[in-house]
Amino acid sequence: MSKIDALKIIIAKSPAQCAEAAKAITAINKKSPWSDMRCNNVAIRALEDPDANFTEDERVAIADLMGETETEGRDYMLRVRLTNTEHAELEELAGNENLSVSEYVRRKLFE
């Protein structure tokens, strides 16, 4: 089951986390660097939601997705300081190519 499929289950069955799950899907689609964290937080809160009516199989599938990241075995994080304008421009450039900011920067660095 994909993260988006799990989030769709959360939207359907956890009233308290419906809006946050929808935002997490948007973050995934935009390749946000925060999408993994957002998904994990939504999953945790949804599984704790007393009003959610997940089946046991759905609970297991949602729990299995928590903690998965798409770092492709990368061990190092590079921190760079940017102005708000520079950051906005970088996000726009990455978005124009349907890439996350990280993937866009890696490609530009190593072309």
**For range 27-38, the mean pLDDT:** 87
- The residues near 15 (Cβ < 8 Å, ≥ 6 apart) are 49, 51, 52
**For range 89-104, the mean pLDDT:** 84
| pLDDT at residue 72, rounded to an integer | 56
How far apart CA 62 and CA 107 sit, in angstroms, is 32
**For range 76-99, the mean pLDDT:** 85
Expressed in angstroms, the distance from the first to the final Cα of the chain is 34
pLDDT averaged over every residue in the chain: 86
Residue 69 in this model has a pLDDT that exceeds 70: no
Q: How far is CA 31 from the centre of its chain?
A: 7
How far apart CA 105 and CA 39 sit, in angstroms, is 23
Q: Which tokens go with 53?
A: 């009516």
Q: pLDDT-derived band of residue 67, with 50, 70 and 90 as boundaries?
A: low
